[in-house]
Amino acid sequence: MLKTNNYNPDVLTCLANLSSDEVFTPPRMANEILDLLPMKIWSNQNARFLDPVCKSGIFLREIARRLDEGLEKQIPDKQARIDHIFQNQVFGIAITEMTSLLSRRSLYCSRVANGRYSVCEAFGNPQGNIRFDRIEHRWENGQCLFCGANQEVYGRSEDLETHAYHFIHTERPEELFKMKFDVIVGNPPYQLSDGGFGRSASPIYQHFVQQAKKLNPRYLTMIIPSRWFAGGKGLNDFRNEMLNDSRIRKIVDLEDASECFPGVDIAGGICYFLWERDSTGPCEVVNKHNNSEVMTIRPMNEFKTFIRHGQAVPILRKILSKKEKSMAEQVSASKPFGLRTFVRPQKSGDIILRWQKGEGPYNRKDITVGLEMIDKWNVITSYVGYDHAGNPGKDGRRRVFSKINILPPGTICTETYLVIGSFENTEQAQNLVSYMKTRFFRFLVSQFMYSHHITKEAYSFVPVLDMSIGWTDELLNRRYGLTDDEIVFIESKIRPMELEDE
């Protein structure tokens, strides 16, 4: 089972995903992640490995395969070697009862670790070293104290899955196995519904990373969404922690998640990382897209967001060195006039309301927010970006904005839009529109795009300029001293506004 030169066809490449939040790791991707670990680990018969979020058991299976090869000289007898690896080196915690059975089947060739068909003869219990125990959430004020799950959504009967994952629903994770681990590896669940509007959900993958660090392994590697780089609900503390952790030695970033999880759409892409307890320094960052790779070595905490592409770093340095006011200080809040998306025009009124399907009358007296902007020329853009789920097109380029409009005086809008600038005359408004359509402007906004939403913070790198000037890319490139290579890089990432998706 363990030692074979041909892993195709592999049943674990054919599994349907549990959901877009609980994604099975393909064997090829599991091995790429394990390749981050030092080769010497596979010949260490004392090294212990933990996957705290077992789904298919692929990580444990591939770890066991590597150990089987690496320990052949030290433990020549095949059965003794397998028994040693399974009993003393490879451990897992399943996320559901179903995945515990699947993981044991993948690793032991039997859903029962001590069954007649198990390849390991050392176990006296059916779970072996892959555990699953049904855990309940700990509710307080309608939310779980550990993972933040919504009680109305996940307060379920005993016959339904709770999604209270054992590894993060304890204050003492070291008590789960009562041992130290050299390596923790896994692909955690990504998010849980939080009971908000529509398909609203909150990320939970950060809890698994933080809990794993508490165990202080020598190495930690997990594959998680890349949205923590700049966005994500409730991820600010996690982002700050990651950016300032110099033990993160390598990040491999895939803008298009389907390149590692075929058929799965994950906003902002996916990444996997290597954290080394006993090593610090700049991080090796590898960007993968359309079978190409770009590698840079740099500190992670130079900016308040993690910059995905190393080629963007010198461009940002040039722009920020001028210490100009940021557009994030100028852009409106998410509801510029205090109106929700579902607000509709009234039967009569003395101002105009712009909403998704057109315009209609509205009463000025009913507006309590943004009063100072009502009688100005306001440049607006949709809160939802053009690029699907915040991902670039097949050519790797973004358009960023779906539409840009100018509201004349006496016109307001719902939270569908953000007001980017408010002016006394139409010329300044037109010049801001021209500025926003430049690749330069949209490139800077795109540094924060890890979902289809473009928030106020996404304008943090964009400088506020004199709007009596009609800015073009040529003028901006010259103003900030961009090199030919830097201009080419921006053009490789940003489409002209007039170019539609092919």
SS (H, E, C) 307-349: CCCHHHHHHHHHHHCCCCCEHHHCCCCCCCCCCCCCCCCCCCC
Residue 48 lies in a domain: no
pLDDT at 3: 45
- Contact 88/115 with Cβ under 8 angstroms? no
Spatial distance between the Cα atoms of 209 and 186, rounded to a whole number of angstroms: 9
Residue 471 lies in a domain: yes
- Give the domain extent around 381: 327-493
- Contact 447/380 with Cβ under 8 angstroms? no
Assigned token pair, 385:
């970006």
Residue 103 lies in a domain: no
Please name which of 418, 412, 423, 417 lies closest in space to residue 363, comparing C-alpha atoms.
412
Residue 355 lies in a domain: yes
Q: Distance from CA of residue 322 to its chain's centroid?
A: 31
pLDDT at 350: 94
- Contact 123/130 with Cβ under 8 angstroms? no
Q: Tell me the backbone φ, ψ of residue 294, rounded to 5 degrees.
A: -130, 130
pLDDT at 258: 86
pLDDT at 500: 43
SS3 (DSSP) at 27:
helix
- Contact 339/351 with Cβ under 8 angstroms? no
User: Within the chain, which residues score under 50 in pLDDT?
Assistant: 1, 3-8, 14-15, 197-198, 499-502
Looking up tokens 């997990």 gives 222
Residue 24 lies in a domain: no
Residue 443 lies in a domain: yes
pLDDT at 265: 80
> 484-493 and 313-320 helices cross at what angle (nearest 10)?
110
248, 257, 320 from 252: Cα distances, Å: 11, 12, 26
Q: How many CB atoms lie within 10 A of CB 238?
A: 18
Residue 474 lies in a domain: yes
Residue 150 lies in a domain: no
pLDDT at 19: 56
Q: Structural domain tally of the chain?
A: 1
Assigned token pair, 336:
């510029």
Assigned token pair, 239:
């982002």
Assigned token pair, 433:
């529109």
pLDDT at 160: 80
Spatial distance between the Cα atoms of 232 and 197, rounded to a whole number of angstroms: 16
Assigned token pair, 199:
């398909």
Spatial distance between the Cα atoms of 298 and 243, rounded to a whole number of angstroms: 11
Q: 9 preceded by cis ω (within 30°)?
A: yes
pLDDT at 123: 93
pLDDT at 390: 62
Spatial distance between the Cα atoms of 65 and 5, rounded to a whole number of angstroms: 11
- Contact 73/112 with Cβ under 8 angstroms? no
